[in-house]
Amino acid sequence: MAKASFPASFPAKDQQFFDPEVQTLPREQLLTLQWQRLKRQWERIWTTPVPFFARKFAAAGATAKDLQTFADLRRLPTTNKDELRQSEAEHPPFGDYRGAPPEQAVRLGTSTGTSGRPTLILWTRKDLEVDYCASFRARWRWGIRPGMCLANAHPFGSNAGGWHFSHGIEGLGILNVPSGPPGSDEEIRDVLEVWRRLRPDAYRLFGNVATRFAEAARAWGLDPERDLNLRIAGDHPAEQYAMVSSGLEALPLLGSACAERDGAHVAEDLAVVEVIDRHTGQP
C-alpha cells in the first residue's frame, strides 16, 4: 500500500485495479496479512491500553491470550454506537475507546447522529493515509481515470465525506471540482456557471442535490445535459449516485461498490467484516 498522501504514480488507464498487489493478493497471503493486522489491533487493546475494549472483553471473560484464530472473533461481544456515546459521556470529550492517544489526532469529524447524539471521529495522520489509499481504490473502481474532470457537491465542515472523497479524486490525477451542497440562489448560480464553463466529464451528486441543481439550471435557461453534461438518472439517490453501496461510501476503508452495481467489494486487507443478524445480534 502506498504510504504517501498522493500516490507516486498512476496505473495504466485500462488497468482493472488501482493497487493490484494488494487487491489481487492470493487468498492465503491475504489471510496472513489480515491476521497480522488484526493481531496488532488486538494487542493494542491490552498494551496501549484501550480501556473501553479491555473492560468490555474482560467482562466477557476474554484475556489477551484469547484471540488465536479468526473463529475466536465470534466469541467476542459486538459494540454498538450507544456504548461509544456512553464512553464519551463518562470520559469526555473523546471517550476511552480510541486506538491512539487523542493528542495524536489531526482532524475531528462528527458522525451523522442518525441514531442519537453524534459521536466524535478522530483521525491521526496515519488514519488519513489509510483512508485516502482506500479511497483511491474505490474511485478507480468507478471507472474514472487521470485527466478527467469530476464535479462533486459533498459537504465539508465536520462531515468527513467531502474531504475523503476529494482527496481520493485528486490523488488519481482527476480534476476535482468541489462545488459544495446547493446554498443560496447566488451560490447555486456561481456553481452552475463553473459547470457550464467546464462541462465536467462526470458528476457525483446525490439525487436530490442533482435535481435541485438541474431545476436551477433550467430556470436560468440552460439544458442540464447539453450545457452542463449533467444527466438526471432518477429520483432515488442510488440511481443518480451510481454504484453507491449501503454505508460503504462514507467509510472508504471498508470497501465500495463497482460497475457491476450488485453488492460491494470489501477492502479485506483493511477490515475484517462480520455480518450480524440485526434481530438476534448474532453473527
Chain contacts with a copy of itself (rule: CB under 8 A): 4-6, 88, 92-93, 102-108, 110, 113, 118, 120, 122, 125, 128, 147, 149, 155-158, 162, 166, 169-171, 173-180, 190-191, 193-194, 197-198
Question: What is the closest distance, in whole angstroms, from the C-beta atom of residue 109 to a copy of itself in the complex?
Answer: 8
**How do beta strands 105-110 and 120-124 pair?**
antiparallel
Question: What is the closest distance, in whole angstroms, from the C-beta atom of residue 157 to a copy of itself in the complex?
Answer: 3
Cβ nearer to a copy of itself, comparing 175 with 271? 175
C-alpha grid cell for residue 243?
454504484
Q: Is 204 exposed, middle or buried (0-12, 13-18, 19+ CB in 10 A)?
A: buried
Task: Report H helices in the chain.
Answer: 20-23, 27-47, 51-59, 81-90, 125-141, 160-171, 185-198, 207-219, 224-228, 237-240
Give the Cα separation of 280 and 258 in Å (integer): 30
Question: Phi first, then psi: what are they for 109, rounded to 5°?
Answer: -130, 175
Cβ nearer to a copy of itself, comparing 197 with 278? 197
Cβ nearer to a copy of itself, comparing 27 with 197? 197
Question: What is the closest distance, in whole angstroms, from the C-beta atom of residue 187 to a copy of itself in the complex?
Answer: 8
The closest alpha carbon to 146, from 167, 169, 124, 130, belongs to: 169
Question: What is the closest distance, in whole angstroms, from the C-beta atom of residue 249 to a copy of itself in the complex?
Answer: 18
Do the Cβ atoms of 122 and 108 come closer than 8 Å? Answer: yes
Give the Cα separation of 209 and 73 in Å (integer): 41
Question: What is the closest distance, in whole angstroms, from the C-beta atom of residue 14 to a copy of itself in the complex?
Answer: 18
Question: What is the closest distance, in whole angstroms, from the C-beta atom of residue 163 to a copy of itself in the complex?
Answer: 8
Cβ nearer to a copy of itself, comparing 184 with 282? 184
Cβ nearer to a copy of itself, comparing 184 with 280? 184
Cβ nearer to a copy of itself, comparing 30 with 148? 148
